[in-house]
């Protein structure tokens, strides 16, 4: 595949006469009209690269196609330097040359209704060219350039999934997110800051919490910009940036803060253009004059425990759940993994629990269960679960389920299991035998009866569950 | 990034505020070398404030050089405790303006901050400087990495002649000019542009073309510059003209824009007196 760029003269010609020429983008299936109007070949060969195709527009939504194109374009044009990729001639060449038909289909020009001349012409300019002299504005609005730049900005060569950051951002409202995260705020050019932003978005995604693009993402970006007015964001760590955004969004969710309001005509222009062009626009700001808007109490920067999040309306990722096993009349506790946690399989009962709420019942393997209570697990609990997983995986590969494994599957947390383990290891019968080594039911019952008269409540609870385990296994 | 008109909730040593009664913080950049791939920039840092110097020595604060090219989304920071620092800028990662800001940044929270040179307004004020606070800053002159324009092809012209599409055959538009960041643009009728394309490489015709298109274009440019040159000083053509005059031992702003010569003289000299050459070439042109 030959990559062509568009001659500067040809770009100047089309852009200067766009109020006469924009109609070709609606009417002409091929780009032959450009040469006819310009008077000579408007393109020059730039480089030869292996063939590639952009995302199919028939098989997915426009947002999903743009999302895929971020990866496709950056993967295939990774040898472009940032300097080359900020050149309008390259992207004008691709949009008006190699990918002219694709671009027309992407923006539905064959079927699009004509509206006002100014609006229609302006939309063509920003999609097929750079809409003004500001390169950054241009490449975050051009139909193809913005995909390459988002791919490049989110690409992480050190991660096995090079596009994990992009996956976290997701395809929904991609154009608006691109505007809010990458275009409106230059701080996202710093990879540490961008990682912090993506980790914050992941924090909520992992817990099944949907963020509103405007109320949460845009608001938290404005907040970060305001914070950057009084301190240098570039010197903060990934964790500190994550913390700032997570806390802010949690506060917004709890109604403690609303969006930061700035009286700015450009914001109105932004809304207007966004609605007219399906693309976002805002003045590129970098912490200018916004420092006094709000101060940040840096002294209170502590790790968020996750408990501050609003109580989920239904059981979702990262929740603890108390479930009543109606047959055994016992309450079991489950800890649902985070969304991105692929380190262990979900138990069938955990899958059943997703989306339920207090009081709801369900049947599983002939048993009837009822949700008694649930809430968000703390970060500490979730981290604790991570620690356990390796052991858990190893043990689950064995067919024999021992008592401790059974306890885990029943949803006991590690602290309780460890306590039971301690009791079992320290208390032996007269013959020096551990409870777990006893085979005979009678001996076990005798041992337990003897201990019950001198043991604590917790130890007696151990025996209760051990008997249940024996029953289950038999 | 350039820091301007910013209000800080703590004292800052800089040219824009009087938070400190004396002393200064300066960072001076110098391009040491430049080749196709890299530009080596050195930074000389001078700080006249014993209190801040002491904080840096104790590790409570550090010098930070913030480098950003918004054209290419390039943004990085250098951390140093030394008075001198240098950096190899990858030319492929920048294009045009590169903004440089030197700062002193708190590495950790500083409770009960005191400094002998603080303004009296801070007397009896218990100051806590937050981590990452910008305790001093200095906006440096921007770097301009120009070589990248030619990365895609050799299109070095400072001028662009653009054809207007006429609404009908009767429409007649005057030649117009505009200045954008890369080029000086000349808008002419489409037929005029076709003629320009046909004759632009004819050596005998060149003085004529320069006389009728470039002289008014450069006159327009000089009028704009005499009105407000600062609006254009980062434009590619401005930098090229500055470099051209520097080679002649002249300063473009002081000696040319604000010089005593009339614009008509400046423009003709810049184009090597094309009007006279036009008349001298007429015989040859007619012969052609």
- Is residue B134 domain-shared with residue B189, that is, in the same domain? no
Query: What confidence tens digit (pLDDT) does each residue in B117-162 have?
Result: 999 988 888 899 999 999 999 999 988 876 533 444 445 678 888 9
- The answer to whether residue A279 scores a pLDDT higher than 70 is no
Burial pattern A63-98, b for ≥16 Cβ within 10 A else e, equals bbbbbbbbbbbbebbeebbbbbbbbbbbbbbbbbbb
Q: Does B214 touch chain A (CB under 8 A)?
A: no
Give dist(CA A12, CA A67) in Å, integer. Answer: 30
Determine the residue of chain B that is closest to A293 in CA distance: B7
What is residue A285's DSSP assignment? B
Q: Which of B96, B134, B153 sits opposite A232 (nearest CB)?
A: B134
- Is residue B128 domain-shared with residue B233, that is, in the same domain? no
Give dist(CA A83, CA A408) in Å, integer. Answer: 55
Q: A289 vs B96: CB contact, 8 Å cut-off?
A: no
Complex ipTM > 0.90 = no
Pick from A132-136, A400-404, B118-122 the range whose average pLDDT is largest. Answer: B118-122
Q: Which of B132, B152, B183 sits opposite A84 (nearest CB)?
A: B152
Do A174 and A214 form a contact (C-beta atoms < 8 A)? no
Q: B197 vs A298: CB contact, 8 Å cut-off?
A: no
List the structure tokens of A277: 């062009």
Give dist(CA B219, CA B264) in Å, integer. Answer: 7
CATH of the domain at B108: 2.60.40
Q: A149 vs B73: CB contact, 8 Å cut-off?
A: yes
Q: A39 vs B197: CB contact, 8 Å cut-off?
A: yes
Residues of B in contact with A82 (CB under 8 A): 72-74, 92-95
Q: A12 vs B152: CB contact, 8 Å cut-off?
A: no
Torsions phi, psi of B223, nearest 5? -65, -45
- pLDDT confidence of residue A272: 43
Residues of A in contact with B187 (CB under 8 A): 16
Give dist(CA B181, CA B176) in Å, integer. Answer: 17
- The answer to whether residue A186 scores a pLDDT higher than 80 is yes
Rg (CA), chain A: 30
List the structure tokens of B193: 């542009």
Instruction: Give the residue from B82, B111, B146 where a domain finishes.
Output: B146
Burial pattern A292-302, b for ≥16 Cβ within 10 A else e, equals ebeebebeebe
- Is residue B141 domain-shared with residue B199, that is, in the same domain? no
Mutation to test the B interface, candidates A231, A283, A286, most B Cβ within 10 Å:
A231
Mean pLDDT of chain A, nearest integer = 81
- The answer to whether residue A23 scores a pLDDT higher than 90 is yes
Distance from CA of A244 to the nearest CA of B (A): 13
Give dist(CA A340, CA A168) in Å, integer. Answer: 10
Q: What are the residues whose beta carbons fall under 8 Å from the beta carbon of B103, sequence distance 6 or more?
A: A232, B63, B64, B65, B66, B134, B135, B136, B137, B138
Do A273 and B114 form a contact (C-beta atoms < 8 A)? no
Q: Where are the domains of chain A?
A: 1-159, 172-310, 319-473
- Is residue B121 domain-shared with residue B161, that is, in the same domain? no
Touching A: B residues 107-136, CB under 8 Å? 107, 109, 128, 130-134
Judge whether B60 lies within some domain.
Answer: yes
Query: What confidence tens digit (pLDDT) does each residue in B11-55 have?
Result: 999 998 899 999 999 999 999 987 777 889 999 999 999 999 999
More confident residue, A256 or B109: B109
Q: Which of B164, B181, B185 sits opposite A17 (nearest CB)?
A: B164
- pLDDT confidence of residue A419: 82
Touching A: B residues 176-205, CB under 8 Å? 180-183, 185, 187, 190, 193-194, 197
**What is the rounded average pLDDT of the residues A271-292?**
41
Q: What are the residues whose beta carbons fall under 8 Å from the beta carbon of A232, sequence distance 6 or more?
A: B64, B66, B77, B103, B105, B132, B133, B134
Distance from CA of A305 to the nearest CA of B (A): 22
Determine the residue of chain B that is closest to A150 in CA distance: B73
**Greatest CA separation found in chain A?**
104
Give dist(CA A448, CA A451) in Å, integer. Answer: 5
Query: What confidence tens digit (pLDDT) does each residue in B238-280 have?
Result: 988 888 888 778 899 999 999 999 999 999 988 888 899 899 8
Query: What confidence tens digit (pLDDT) does each residue in A366-377 have?
Result: 788 999 888 888
Judge whether B84 lies within some domain.
Answer: yes
Coil, strand or helix at B187: strand
Instruction: Give the residue from B88, B121, B146 where a domain finishes.
Output: B146
Q: B155 vs A187: CB contact, 8 Å cut-off?
A: no
Distance from CA of A172 to the nearest CA of B (A): 24
Q: Does B86 touch chain A (CB under 8 A)?
A: no
Of the pLDDT bands very low, low, confident and very high (cuts 50, 70, 90), residue A346 is confident
Residues pairing with B179 in the sheet: B184
Determine the residue of chain A that is closest to B163 in CA distance: A13
More confident residue, A331 or A429: A331
- pLDDT confidence of residue A383: 62
Judge whether B247 lies within some domain.
Answer: yes
Cα A408 to Cα A351, A352, A402, B42, distances in angstroms: 16, 18, 10, 60
Distance from CA of B227 to the nearest CA of A (A): 21
Percentages (nearest 5) of helix, strand, coil residues in chain A? 55, 10, 35
Q: Which of B68, B73, B96 sits opposite A153 (nearest CB)?
A: B73
- The answer to whether residue A392 scores a pLDDT higher than 80 is no
- Is residue B133 domain-shared with residue B165, that is, in the same domain? no
CA torsion angle A247 A249 A255 A256 (round to 10): 30
Rg (CA), chain B: 26
Task: Count contacts between A and B (CB, < 8 Å).
Answer: 153
Judge whether B152 lies within some domain.
Answer: no
- Is residue B90 domain-shared with residue B186, that is, in the same domain? no
Q: Does B166 touch chain A (CB under 8 A)?
A: no
Q: Does B163 touch chain A (CB under 8 A)?
A: yes
Q: What are the residues whose beta carbons fall under 8 Å from the beta carbon of A175, sequence distance 6 or more?
A: A63, A66, A278, A279, A280
Helices (H), A228-339: 238-253, 265-277
Do B130 and A299 form a contact (C-beta atoms < 8 A)? yes
Give dist(CA B219, CA B267) in Å, integer. Answer: 6
Of the pLDDT bands very low, low, confident and very high (cuts 50, 70, 90), residue A397 is very low
Percent share of chain A, pLDDT over 90: 35
Residues of B in contact with A44 (CB under 8 A): 153
Residues of A in contact with B213 (CB under 8 A): none
Do A229 and B6 form a contact (C-beta atoms < 8 A)? yes
Q: B132 vs A298: CB contact, 8 Å cut-off?
A: yes
Q: A189 vs B74: CB contact, 8 Å cut-off?
A: yes
- Is residue B135 domain-shared with residue B210, that is, in the same domain? no
Give dist(CA B162, CA B176) in Å, integer. Answer: 10
Give dist(CA A186, CA B187) in Å, integer. Answer: 34
Q: Does B36 touch chain A (CB under 8 A)?
A: no
Q: A17 vs B181: CB contact, 8 Å cut-off?
A: no
Q: B130 vs A82: CB contact, 8 Å cut-off?
A: no
Give dist(CA B137, CA B3) in Å, integer. Answer: 8
Q: A12 vs B7: CB contact, 8 Å cut-off?
A: no
Determine the residue of chain B that is closest to A233 in CA distance: B132
**What is the rounded average pLDDT of the residues A293-318?**
57
User: Beta-strand (E) ranges in A12-103?
Assistant: 43-48
Residues of B in contact with A298 (CB under 8 A): 109, 130-132
Q: B148 vs A284: CB contact, 8 Å cut-off?
A: no
- Is residue B161 domain-shared with residue B282, that is, in the same domain? yes
Identify the CA nearest to A250 among candidates A184, A319, A200, A188.
A200
Which DSSP string corresponds to A201-230? HHHHHHTTPPPPIIIIIIHHHHHHHHHTTT
Q: B134 vs A8: CB contact, 8 Å cut-off?
A: no
- Is residue B231 domain-shared with residue B142, that is, in the same domain? no
Burial pattern B108-123, b for ≥16 Cβ within 10 A else e, equals ebbeebebebbeeebe
- Is residue B124 domain-shared with residue B185, that is, in the same domain? no
Residues of B in contact with A196 (CB under 8 A): none
Q: B8 vs A149: CB contact, 8 Å cut-off?
A: no
Q: B130 vs A299: CB contact, 8 Å cut-off?
A: yes
Q: B133 vs A231: CB contact, 8 Å cut-off?
A: yes
Give dist(CA B76, CA A460) in Å, integer. Answer: 61
Judge whether B207 lies within some domain.
Answer: yes
Give dist(CA A273, CA A190) in Å, integer. Answer: 27
Query: What confidence tens digit (pLDDT) does each residue in B77-112 have?
Result: 999 999 999 999 988 899 888 999 999 999 999 999
Residues of B in contact with A46 (CB under 8 A): 152-153
Give dist(CA A411, CA A407) in Å, integer. Answer: 6
What is the domain range of residue B169? 157-287
Residues of B in contact with A301 (CB under 8 A): 131
Q: Which secondary-structure segment (H or E) carries B138?
A: strand B134-139
- pLDDT confidence of residue B149: 39
Judge whether B9 lies within some domain.
Answer: no
- The answer to whether residue B56 scores a pLDDT higher than 90 is yes
Of the pLDDT bands very low, low, confident and very high (cuts 50, 70, 90), residue A390 is very low
Q: Does B89 touch chain A (CB under 8 A)?
A: no
Cα B263 to Cα B46, B64, B221, B238, B243, distances in angstroms: 42, 44, 10, 16, 19
Mutation to test the B interface, candidates A90, A232, A301, most B Cβ within 10 Å:
A232
- The answer to whether residue A293 scores a pLDDT higher than 60 is no
Distance from CA of B248 to the nearest CA of A (A): 30
């Amino acid at each position: 595949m030959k990559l062509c760029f568009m001659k500067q003269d040809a770009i100047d010609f089309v852009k200067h006469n766009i109020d006469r020429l924009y109609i070709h983008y609606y009417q002409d299936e091929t780009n032959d009209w450009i040469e006819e109007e310009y008077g000579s070949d408007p393109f020059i060969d730039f480089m030869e690269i292996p063939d590639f195709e952009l995302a199919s527009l028939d098989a997915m939504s426009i947002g999903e196609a743009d999302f895929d194109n971020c990866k496709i374009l950056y993967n295939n044009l990774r040898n472009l330097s940032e300097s080359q990729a900020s050149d309008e001639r390259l992207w004008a060449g691709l949009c008006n040359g190699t990918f002219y038909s694709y671009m027309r289909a992407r923006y539905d020009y064959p079927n699009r209704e004509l509206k006002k001349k100014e609006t229609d012409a302006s939309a063509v300019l920003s999609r097929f060219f750079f809409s003004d002299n500001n390169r950054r504005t241009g490449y975050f609005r051009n139909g193809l350039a913005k995909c390459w730049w988002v791919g490049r900005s989110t690409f992480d060569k050190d991660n096995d999934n090079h596009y994990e950051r992009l996956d976290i951002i997701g395809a929904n409202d991609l154009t608006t997110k691109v505007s809010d995260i990458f275009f409106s705020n230059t701080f996202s050019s710093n990879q540490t800051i961008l990682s912090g932003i993506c980790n914050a978005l992941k924090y909520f995604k992992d817990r099944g919490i949907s963020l509103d693009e405007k109320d949460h993402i845009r608001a938290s970006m404005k907040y970060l910009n305001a914070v950057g007015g009084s301190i240098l964001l570039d010197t903060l760590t990934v964790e500190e940036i994550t913390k700032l955004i997570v806390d802010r969004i949690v506060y917004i969710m709890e109604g403690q803060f609303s969006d930061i309001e700035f009286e700015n005509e450009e914001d109105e222009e932004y809304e207007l253009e966004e609605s007219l062009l399906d693309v976002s626009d805002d003045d590129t700001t970098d912490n200018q004059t916004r420092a006094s808007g709000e101060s940040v109490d840096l002294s209170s920067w502590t790790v968020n425990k996750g408990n501050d999040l609003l109580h989920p309306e239904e059981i979702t990722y990262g929740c603890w759940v108390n479930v009543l096993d109606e047959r055994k009349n016992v309450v079991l506790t489950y800890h649902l993994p985070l969304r991105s946690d692929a380190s262990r399989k979900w138990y069938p009962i955990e899958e059943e629990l997703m989306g339920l709420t207090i009081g709801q019942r369900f049947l599983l393997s002939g048993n009837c269960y009822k949700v008694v209570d649930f809430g968000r697990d703390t970060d500490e609990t979730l981290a604790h679960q991570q620690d356990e997983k390796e052991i858990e995986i190893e043990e689950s590969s064995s067919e024999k389920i021992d008592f401790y494994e059974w306890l885990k599957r029943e949803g006991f947390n590690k602290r309780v299991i460890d306590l039971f383990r301690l009791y079992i290891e320290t208390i032996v019968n007269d013959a020096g035998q551990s409870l777990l080594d006893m085979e005979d039911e009678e001996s076990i019952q005798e041992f337990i009866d003897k201990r019950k008269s001198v043991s604590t409540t917790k130890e007696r609870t151990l025996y209760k569950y051990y008997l249940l385990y024996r029953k289950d296994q038999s | 990034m350039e820091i301007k008109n910013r209000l800080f909730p703590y004292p800052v040593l800089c040219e824009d505020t009087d938070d400190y009664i004396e002393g200064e913080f300066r960072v001076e950049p110098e391009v040491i070398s430049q080749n196709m791939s890299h530009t080596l920039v050195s930074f000389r840092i001078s700080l006249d404030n014993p209190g801040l110097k002491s904080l840096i020595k104790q590790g409570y604060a550090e010098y930070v050089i913030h480098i950003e090219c918004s054209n290419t989304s390039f943004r990085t920071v250098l951390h140093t405790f030394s008075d001198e620092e240098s950096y190899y800028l990858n030319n492929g990662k920048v294009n045009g303006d590169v903004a440089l800001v030197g700062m002193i940044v708190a590495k950790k929270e500083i409770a009960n901050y005191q400094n002998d040179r603080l303004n009296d307004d801070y007397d009896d004020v218990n100051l806590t400087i937050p981590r990452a606070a910008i305790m001093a800053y200095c906006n440096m002159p921007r770097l301009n990495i120009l070589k990248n324009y030619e990365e895609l092809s050799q299109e070095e012209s400072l001028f662009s002649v653009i054809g207007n599409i006429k609404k009908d055959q009767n429409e007649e538009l005057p030649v117009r000019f505009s200045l954008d960041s890369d080029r000086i643009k000349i808008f002419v009728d489409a037929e005029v542009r076709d003629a320009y394309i046909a004759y632009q490489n004819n050596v005998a015709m060149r003085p004529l073309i320069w006389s009728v298109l470039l002289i008014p274009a450069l006159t327009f440019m000089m009028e704009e510059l005499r009105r407000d040159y600062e609006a254009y000083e980062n434009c590619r053509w401005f930098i090229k003209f500055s470099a051209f005059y520097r080679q002649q031992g002249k300063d473009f702003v002081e000696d040319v824009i604000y010089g005593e010569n009339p614009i008509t003289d400046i423009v003709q000299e810049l184009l090597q007196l094309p009007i006279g050459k036009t008349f001298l070439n007429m015989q040859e042109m007619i012969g052609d």
